[in-house]
């Protein structure tokens, strides 16, 4: 089978979710991804061992097998504070296409792994830095996490009830969409550009920038009207009855997205309130009355009864069940689209993971291997670089590898 990113070699020095998610996408599409990991697993692992002791191999194996972020990757442990380890890194860079790091600005340079150093070794290298605020600007050195980036980008301030504190949406917006996904897109664009120019380039991804880009619709409306989007006060965040969530008889919820007038009219027919068909764009008090009518109507049946009623009506109605996560992977559409992947594991049997979202007709992605335990491929990768068993042992004694 041919893969879209076959023969693309990626070095991944990231640690937290955004970077590994980016290289998961690249690996799913066929790239050979090498995770460059810290000896001992880094500061967090050291802290955990100090309180809980070292994890048994079985636990480490199981965690790696279920970790979708680590699939289709190999693991190499390098102590980049060691000159010998940096020599190994430079040999890898010579034959690599992509380098990804997720440190604060300046850290990669201290490790001898900044863009200037690595691009001088391999001018065709696509080097991506993924950080909270980007490589320049007054916030470049600030620490942060998803919640902080979506705060500054304005997303958190428009999510939640009309009165009360903002609702935290999990680390989806900055870490995954604004960060990891934008990084994968930037890397693939730079690889495509390299076909034309023959040269690599530097890709600077800011999670805050990424979140702002995701808010393009709201920004367009704000720039045009001057109206500041607030929680539950705009078309798509809960202000209107036709794009909202309603509680049902069993305490569950249905989501309604009937933006188009004909979808709204169909919904009104299906719930037995055809008279509301002309009131989709009602104002003020009348809007509250429509809300109240819909809220009362939806409590007369269970969630699944409403979804069945929508289907049985024969009408186009943009309505869906609001699932809890344990229901998601039983949904027939999710299963049909293979977003539940089951992988054979030699020790654990069937392992479940998230499927591959990017569907390509000619070069489809594939989960070729589950995640490795830390350092699982160190010797294998060093042998590929031409290191002899004696040289590998010497590197281990020097503290360059584990």
Per DSSP, the three-state class of 247 is: strand
Q: What is the 3-state secondary structure (H, E, C) of 87-148?
A: HHHHHHHHCCCEEEECCCCCHHHHCCCCHHHHHHHCCCCEEEEEECCCCCCCCCCCCCCHHH
Residues whose CB is less than 8 angstroms from the CB of residue 366 and which lie 6 or more positions away in sequence, other chains included: 1, 3, 28, 30, 356
- Count of CB atoms situated within 10 Å of the CB of 4: 17
Q: Are 259 and 267 within 8 A, CB to CB? A: no
173: left (phi over 0), alpha (psi -120 to 50) or beta: alpha
The answer for residues whose C-beta is within 8 angstroms of residue 164's C-beta and 6 or more apart is none
Residues 115, 201: Cα–Cα separation, whole Å: 9
Backbone torsion region of residue 228, taken as left when φ is above 0, otherwise alpha when ψ lies between -120 and 50, otherwise beta: beta
CA 300 to chain CA centroid, Å, is 38
Q: Which position among 12, 97, 175, 209 bears the catalytic label?
A: 175
Q: What is the chain's alpha carbon radius of gyration, rounded to the nearest angstrom?
A: 25
DSSP-H helix ranges across 132-260: 146-153, 182-197, 207-214, 216-225
Active site residue 175: yes
Alpha carbons within 13 angstroms on the beta-carbon side of residue 80 total 16
Check 145, 204, 273, 345 and give the catalytic one: 145
Structure tokens at 347: 């020790």
- Which sign, positive or negative, has the C-alpha torsion 326, 328, 332, 338? negative
The whole-angstrom separation of Cα 66 and Cα 83 is 34
Active site residues: 145, 175
């Amino acid at each position: 089978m041919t893969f879209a990113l076959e023969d693309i070699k990626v070095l991944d020095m990231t640690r937290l979710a955004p970077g590994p998610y980016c290289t998961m996408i690249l690996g799913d599409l066929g790239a050979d991804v090498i995770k460059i990991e810290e000896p001992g697993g880094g500061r967090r692992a050291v802290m955990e061992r100090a309180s809980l002791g070292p994890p048994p191999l079985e636990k480490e194996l199981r965690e790696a097998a279920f970790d979708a972020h680590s699939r289709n990757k190999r693991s190499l442990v390098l102590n980049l504070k060691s000159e010998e380890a940096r020599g190994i890194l430079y040999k890898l860079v010579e034959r690599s296409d992509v380098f990804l790091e997720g440190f604060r600005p300046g850290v990669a340079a201290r490790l001898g792994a900044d863009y200037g150093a690595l691009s001088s070794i391999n001018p065709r290298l696509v080097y991506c830095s993924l950080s909270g605020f980007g490589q320049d600007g007054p916030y470049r050195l600030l620490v942060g996490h998803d919640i902080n980036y979506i705060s500054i980008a304005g997303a958190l301030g428009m999510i939640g009830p009309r009165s009360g504190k903002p609702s935290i949406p999990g680390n989806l917006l900055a870490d995954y969409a604004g960060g990891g996904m934008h990084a994968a897109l930037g890397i693939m664009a730079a690889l495509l550009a390299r076909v034309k120019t023959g040269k690599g380039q530097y890709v600077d991804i800011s999670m805050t920038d990424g979140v702002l880009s995701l808010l393009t619709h709201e920004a367009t409306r704000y720039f045009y009207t001057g109206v500041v989007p607030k929680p539950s006060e705009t078309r798509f965040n809960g202000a209107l009855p036709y794009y909202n969530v309603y509680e049902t008889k069993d305490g569950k919820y249905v989501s309604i997205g009937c933006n188009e007038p004909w979808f709204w009219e169909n919904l009104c027919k299906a719930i037995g309130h055809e008279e509301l068909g002309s009131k989709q764009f009602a104002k003020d008090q009348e809007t509250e009355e429509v809300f109240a009518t819909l809220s009362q109507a939806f409590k007369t049946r269970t969630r699944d009864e409403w979804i069945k009623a929508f289907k049985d009506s024969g009408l186009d109605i943009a309505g869906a069940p609001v699932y809890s996560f344990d229901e998601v992977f039983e949904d027939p559409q999710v299963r049909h689209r293979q977003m539940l992947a089951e992988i054979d594991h030699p020790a654990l049997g069937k392992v479940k993971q998230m499927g591959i979202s990017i569907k390509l007709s000619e070069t489809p992605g594939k989960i070729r291997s589950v995640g490795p335990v830390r350092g699982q491929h160190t010797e294998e990768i060093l042998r590929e670089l031409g290191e002899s068993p004696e040289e590998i042992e010497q590197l281990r004694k020097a503290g360059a590898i584990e």
